[in-house]
Every structure is written in structure tokens, then in C-alpha cells.
Amino acid sequence: MSIYAISDLHLANSDNCKALIELSHFDDDWLILAGDIGETEEHLRFALSVLTQKFKKIVWTPGNHDLWTYRFNKSMLKGENKYQRLVSICHKYGVTTPEDEYPVYSDKELLYIVIPILTLYDYSFRPDFVKEGTEVEWASESGVICADEDLLIPEPYSSIKDWCRARCSYTEQRLASIDKSIPKIMINHYPLLKELGKIYTYPRFSIWCGTTLTEKWLDLFNVKIAVYGHLHIRSSKIVNGIKHEEVSFGYPNQWDHSKDMQYYLRKIV
Ligand SMILES: [Fe+2]
Ligand SMILES: [Fe+2]
């Protein structure tokens, strides 16, 4: 029994949908989905209807795209309400979300608690010389602006930063109540360390890539493997003895169409 991971399926793209349908079966294995399945409830339903037929267990956390709201679509939920709707869709498919009891993976001598989290970002992945509150202005000076600024509506919170803080506080309380001696696999759409939130071609995009509030959790809660996406730059790095896996599939121009989706599944355990 293995655990695989992938993120950023971006199913608004028909080539990505086709690759998903053609994915092989892994009937004994778990799959981690680390966000950005798509933008709509239909994208999530489609992904889960396919993947729950192919894997034994699915563990999900949303990405920024999953939480977007198109303002022209009056029926589309916003912010926390949209998140809760996505959680309820996951529950219909028996999929584990950041709101559920954390599943335990146990195989031979291996034991992990698998922890999906939603923590968003608070612009704290900014360089030290950028003053708090001026991050978006600073990034846009270089022509970089994340579509979240228009499409990620943080209701009922007054800002994404406040939503992020609330999520971190909720997550930290839950983590504090778990047995620290058991190793953890932590799943977030975002990297858990500031140093991993850098995109060298668009360095100022880092402000939309996580929060420094998660950094201390790695040691504090005995995290051995951190799984994330969002950057669309696949990597596997070890930092201070902890493995950090960026598992993005990405937009159609970011994967090799002569390979199938299976090639991009990362074996985590
Ligand atoms: Fe993405
Ligand atoms: Fe993302």
C-alpha cells in the first residue's frame, strides 16, 4: 500500500480532464490531492467521481483556484461558504478534508498521521525590506499580480490575511491535541517554509505563496513529509531532515503530453 500525491489538476483544461480519465487504477493505494483541482464545484465533483473509482482513499485540501468566485456568476458561493460547500462535496464521495479526523496510515513498520490543512497566505513571504501592508503594491510594480486579488473573496473575513490567520489558529489548536510522537504527513496547497515559496522567474509572486505561521509546525508537530503544489514547479527537497514535495501537474503547457498523468503522480510513501 502506497501513498501518491498530485496537485494543480486545473480541470478547466480539456487535455487535463482527458489525462485524468486515462489514469490507471491504484486500488490498494491512497491519493493526496493538494489543491487547484479547478474553479467550480463541477470540477471537484468530476475529479472525485473519477478518482474515488481508482484509489482506495483520497485526502484533499483546496487551492486558491478552488475557492475562487466569478463575480458574473451570481450563484457561485464566496469564501468560507464556498469552502464549506467543497467540503460537503468531498464528504459525499467519502473523501477526507481539513475538517475531518486525520487519517492514520499504517503499513508494516510505517506509521503516519496524514494531515490536510487549509492555511492560505498572509503576504508574509515578502522580503524583509517590504513593509507590511505594501506587499501587493510592491509586487504589482514589477507587473506581477495574482488573480486572487480579484477572484478570492475572503467572506466573512475582511481580508485574505484575516482568513489565513483564522485558519492557522484553528489548525494549530487541532494539531496541538495530536500525539506528537507519531510522524506526520502534512498536506497544504502552499509550501510550509518561506524559502520554498520562491519562483525565480516571478520572484515577487512569493507573497501569494504561503505564510510564515506554518514554519514552526514542522518541528513542533513532528512533520516528516510536507506535500504542496501551487508553484507549478515540481520538486522534491529535503530541508532540515524534512522532505518537501511539490507535486503540481499544471496547465497543459506545463506537462509532457507524450507521458500520461501516472508519470506525474509522486510516490510519497
Ligand atoms: Fe495551480
Ligand atoms: Fe494555486
pLDDT recorded at residue 200: 87
The count of other CB atoms within 10 Å of the CB of residue 255 is 21
Whose cell is 475572503? That residue is 154
State the distance from the centre of ligand 2 to the C-alpha of 190, rounded, in angstroms. Answer: 8
pLDDT along the chain (269 residues), means of 10: 98 98 98 98 98 98 98 96 98 98 95 98 98 98 97 98 98 98 98 95 96 98 98 98 98 98 98
CA of 181 to the centre of ligand 2 (A): 31
Distance from the alpha carbon of residue 86 to the mean position of ligand 1, in angstroms = 17
Buried/exposed 88-119: b ≥16 CB within 10 Å, e otherwise: ebbeeeebbbbeeebbebeeeeeebbbbbbbb
* Ligand 1 centroid to residue 183 C-alpha, Å: 28
- pLDDT of res. 134: 98
Angstrom distances, CA of residue 223 to CA of 24, 113, 161, 191, 219: 30, 9, 24, 13, 6
Q: Which ligand is nearest to the CA of 210?
A: 2
- pLDDT digits 0-9 by tens, 210-257: 999 999 999 999 999 999 999 999 999 999 999 999 999 999 999 999
Interval between CA 229 and ligand 2 midpoint (Å): 7
pTM above threshold 0.85: yes
DSSP tag of 103: P
CB-side neighbour CA atoms (13 Å) of 268: 30
Residue 66 backbone zone (phi > 0: left; psi -120 to 50: alpha; other: beta) = alpha
The alpha carbons of the chain give a radius of gyration, in whole angstroms, of: 18
* Spatial distance between the Cα atoms of 228 and 7, rounded to a whole number of angstroms: 7
Question: Can you name the CATH fold of 3-267?
Answer: Purple Acid Phosphatase; chain A, domain 2 (3.60.21)
Interval between CA 87 and ligand 1 midpoint (Å): 19
Instruction: List the domain boundaries for the chain.
Output: 3-267
The pLDDT assigned to 231 comes to 98
DSSP conformational letter for 2: -
Grouping H, G, I as helix, E, B as strand and the rest as coil, residue 15 is helix
CB atoms within 10 A of CB 265: 20
